[in-house]
Amino acid sequence: MRSLILAAAFGLAATAALSTATPAEATGKVKCQAGPQSGWKNVESLKAQLTKDGWKVTKAKVDGGCYEVYGVLPTGEKVEAYFHPVSFEKLYVAQRGKVLFRKSGY
């Protein structure tokens, strides 16, 4: 019976963790339909723009067809953020999995 309780406890924990996640979180990624990369703006321009806005950019890469940026906000929070690679529009910002901002539809 103890083993059944343990298995159930893990199942409940996993379900609880998932139920607090939105579909975007469940996949682990934000998806951008931004067309071919030849039409994208340069990631260095995004980093420069964010730095100008007061961010400290640690790392930037492509993920899910978006630009994924790791850095520190001007307010000091360490975040993971997604930007549209053509418009540089901010789509998603999360601090250790806690969503601080998400554009509607993403």
The residues near 29 (Cβ < 8 Å, ≥ 6 apart) are: 63, 64
CB of 42 to other proteins, least distance (A): 22
Burial class (CB in 10 A: 0-12, 13-18, 19+), 23: exposed
d(CA 5, CA 77): 38
Q: Is 61 in the site for other proteins (CB under 8 A)?
A: no
CB of 90 to other proteins, least distance (A): 18
Taking CB under 8 A as the criterion, the residue among 9, 74, 86, 103 binding other proteins is 9
Q: Which residues bind other proteins (CB under 8 A)?
A: 1, 3-4, 6-7, 9-11, 13-14, 16-18, 20-21, 25-26, 28, 58-59, 70, 76-78, 94-98
